[in-house]
């Protein structure tokens, strides 16, 4: 079992991160599903993993990615290893992932499992980290000229429905129940 820390790069106030327990036998394609559910993404865009300078993803002749279905975490990574998961090549959400430690699985705990985390997942298609920063400013200011347009675009009745600091591991774990390893 690996304990990994997943941090969304260039996002702060609040930072967005998750601490996860995942089987070492987990293939990268399954890790993609785990990260989507743990973070709260909607799996609407392409992705890639960059590990030791090699990119893995869905096989595609144009992008030259290695097949993520042929690689497992345990075979590629050791404790202390760092790698990057990029989601949505347009918005370029970079997730910095650190293998914190190898540990023994706990009986009765479903895996993968979200242990801890902070910060809500940014909305899809909001323009990456810079767009998300702008969105938080716009929604916090009812007098901002784009305030109403952003509420409509995100389907919100009120800016109070948008809570960048809202996250509970229980919500992530409910989403993770459908992910099976390897």
CATH number at residue 104: 3.10.290.30
Distance CA 83, CA 115 (A): 20
User: Looking at the predicted structure, is the pLDDT value of residue 179 above 80?
Assistant: no
| Claim to verify: residue 60 and residue 115 sit in the same structural domain | yes
- Residue 71 has what pLDDT? 93
Does 135 lie in the same domain as 59?
no
Q: Does 109 lie in the same domain as 30? A: yes
Pairing of strands 47-51, 82-87: antiparallel
Residues 91 and 16 in one domain: yes
Provide the whole-model pTM. 0.93
What is the predicted pLDDT for the residue at 103?
A: 86
Does residue 182 lie in a domain region?
no
Note whether 64 and 150 are same-domain residues: no
Whether the predicted pLDDT of 96 surpasses 80: yes
Q: List the strands of the sheet with 2-8, edge to edge.
A: 66-67, 54-57, 47-51, 82-87, 93-102, 2-8, 17-22, 113-118
Q: Are 20 and 32 in contact (CB under 8 A)?
A: no
Q: Are residues 113 and 134 in the same domain?
A: no
**What's the rounded Cα separation, in Å, for the pair 4 and 153?**
34
| DSSP element (H, E) containing 138 | helix 128-140
- CB count within 10 Å of CB 80 equals 9
Residues 49 and 102 in one domain: yes
Same domain flag for 25 and 85: yes
Q: Residue 29 and residue 171: Cα distance in Å, rounded?
A: 22
Establish if 62 belongs to a structural domain: yes
What are 120-172's pLDDT values in tens digits? Answer: 999 999 999 999 999 999 999 999 999 999 999 989 999 999 899 999 999 99
Does residue 74 fall inside a structural domain? yes
**CA angle, residues 120, 47, 54, in degrees to nearest 5:** 120
Range of the domain at 59: 2-121+167-176
The verdict on 35 and 49 lying in the same domain is yes
b/e burial code for range 48-75 (CB count within 10 A of at least 16 → b):
bbebeeeebbeeeeeeebbebeebbbbe
d(Cα 147, Cα 133) in Å, to the nearest integer?
Answer: 14
- Percentage of residues of the chain with pLDDT beyond 90: 82
If asked whether residues 146 and 113 sit together in one domain, one would say: no
> Is 60 among the domain residues?
yes
Shared domain check, 133 and 83: no
Pair 108, 76 in one domain: yes
* Number of separate domains in the chain: 2
> 181 lies in a domain?
no
Per-residue pLDDT band at 106 (split at 50, 70, 90): confident
Write the CA distances from 153 to 4, 142, 144, 147, 148, integer angstroms. Answer: 34, 15, 15, 10, 9
């Amino acid at each position: 079992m690996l304990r990994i820390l997943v941090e969304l790069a260039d996002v702060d106030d609040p930072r967005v991160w998750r601490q996860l327990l995942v089987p070492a036998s987990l293939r990268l394609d399954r890790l993609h599903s785990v990260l989507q559910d743990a973070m709260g993404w909607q799996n609407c865009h392409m992705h890639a993993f960059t590990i030791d300078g090699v990119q893995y993803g869905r096989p595609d002749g144009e992008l030259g990615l290695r097949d993520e279905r042929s690689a497992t975490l345990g075979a590629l990574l050791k404790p202390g290893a760092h790698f990057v998961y990029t989601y949505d090549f347009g918005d370029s959400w970079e997730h910095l992932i650190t293998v914190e430690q190898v540990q023994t699985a706990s009986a009765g705990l479903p895996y993968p499992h979200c242990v801890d985390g902070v910060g809500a997942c940014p909305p899809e298609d909001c323009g990456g980290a810079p767009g998300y920063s702008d969105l938080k400013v716009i929604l916090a200011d009812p007098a901002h000229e784009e305030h109403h347009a952003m509420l409509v675009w995100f389907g919100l009745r009120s800016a109070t429905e948008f809570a960048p600091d809202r996250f509970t591991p229980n919500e992530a774990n409910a989403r993770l129940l459908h992910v099976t390893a390897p």
